[in-house]
Structure 1
Amino acid sequence: MTIRNETDLINLIKEDEAMMNVLRIVKSLDLPDWWVCAGFVRSKIWDVLHGFNKKTVVPDIDVIYFYQKEKDESKDEKLEEKLRSIAPHIPWSVKNQARMHKVNDFLPYSSSFDAISKFPETATALGIKLSDWENVILAAPYGIEDAINLQIKPTPSFINNKKGLAIHEERIVKKDWKSTWNKIEIHHL
């Protein structure tokens, strides 16, 4: 199967009952400016493009939201506990993006979409969520071209800073994507 555009990707997600279930569970929390993102979306794309019949297990399901008024990490831990009580088999990871800019020494983010745009790789800078009518909404600040063309490239935020380039290279080694998806092409800078 091929993925040519965002509509194809959204349709694939709609057809994936496990992904839709994750989205419904997260939506039930009613978090401000929420998304399920990163490897959750990228792995679906790469699994399909590699012709895998079975989903690749991701180490965590990244749930992000943006709430400026309460940035305490303990809130994220409570949300993870709540998600585990609903779906204990899912490796939840919840992060309020109002504080996550500090991880990479960036300026504060203005929204979850802004945070997604500051993710390390363009193929990972993807998020999905459900509208009130259960339509899948895609956040793709750099489009989906790199993901569907199996390209690993740093986002502009990581290209333009020395620490970012080091993080990009560390992630390539740590994530070892090529051992799972052998058709991807990694761009070192």
Structure 2
Amino acid sequence: MEIRSESDLLELIKRDKWMMEILCWVNELNLPDWWICAGFVRSKIWDTIHRYESRTAIPDIDVVYFDPLIIDEYQEKKWEERLLNRSPDIPWSVKNEARMHLVNGIPPYTSSVDAISKFPETATALGLKLDENEQLLLAAQHGIEDAIHLQLKPTPYIKQRPDMYKIYKERVMKKNWKSIWPLINVHDD
């Protein structure tokens, strides 16, 4: 399937039984302002464009939510445990974005989508969730163009902060995405 638009991407995800099952499991937790983001979405796009027959390995499934009332990391671990009980073979990572600004040493986020928009790469700053009617939603504050055109670029937030830009460059080196998806174009700007 060719991905030219957000609706194409959503249709691609809807056809992926594994991804939809994961979205349903997280939806059952009723987390406030939740999304599954980052590599979960980007890898599906890049695998599809590279015409891979099977899914590339994902180091973890990033679940984010926003709850300013309970910012204890212990609560995140409880959510991870519930997901692990549901599917122990999936490497779950659950983070409350209402506390992650403390970890990252930056001003507080206003929502999960705000946090996603400040991820290091535009192609990774994507999230999926099910709404109250179980309709699939996409968070893409920077659009999906970089992801579908195989462009790996820093988000505007990262570009304007030299301390954070260093993280982008380190991630590009460490993750070595080009060895997995050779058609991507890595930007240093």
Same fold (TM over 0.5): yes
Partner Cα separation in structure 2 for residue 109 and residue 133 of structure 1 = 26
Q: Find the residue that maps to 1:99 and give its secondary structure.
A: helix
Q: How much does 1:39 deviate?
A: 0.3
Aligned residues: 189
Q: Tell me the residue number matched to 1:75.
A: 75
Residue identity opposite 2:140 in structure 1: A
RMSD of Structure 2 on Structure 1 (CA): 0.8
| Alpha-carbon contact 1:38-1:62 (below 8 Å) kept | yes
Q: Tell me the residue number matched to 1:96.
A: 96
Residue identity opposite 1:68 in structure 2: P
Alignment of 1:69-148 (within 5 A): 69-148=69-148
Give 4+ residue runs of structure 1 displaced > 4 Å after superposition: none
Partner Cα separation in structure 1 for residue 187 and residue 161 of structure 2 = 16
| Alpha-carbon contact 1:104-1:164 (below 8 Å) kept | no
Gap regions ≥5 residues in structure 1: none
Q: Find the residue that maps to 1:2 and give its secondary structure.
A: coil
Q: How much does 1:103 deviate?
A: 3.2
Partner Cα separation in structure 2 for residue 16 and residue 178 of structure 1 = 24
Partner Cα separation in structure 1 for residue 174 and residue 101 of structure 2 = 21
Alignment of 1:1-189 (within 5 A): 1-189=1-189
Q: How much does 1:21 deviate?
A: 0.3
Q: How much does 1:101 deviate?
A: 1.5
Residue identity opposite 1:60 in structure 2: D
Instruction: String of CA shifts for 1:95-119, please: whole Å, max 9, x gaps.
Output: 0000111333221001001001111
Q: TM-score, with normalisation over the residues of structure 2?
A: 0.98
Q: Find the residue that maps to 2:69 and give its secondary structure.
A: coil
Gap regions ≥5 residues in structure 2: none
Q: How much does 1:57 deviate?
A: 1.1
| Alpha-carbon contact 1:128-1:139 (below 8 Å) kept | yes
Q: How much does 1:58 deviate?
A: 0.2
Between 1:97-106 and 1:173-182, the stretch displaced more is: 97-106
Residue identity opposite 2:8 in structure 1: D
Partner Cα separation in structure 2 for residue 146 and residue 27 of structure 1 = 28
Q: How much does 1:158 deviate?
A: 0.7
Q: How much does 1:133 deviate?
A: 2.3
| Alpha-carbon contact 1:49-1:148 (below 8 Å) kept | yes
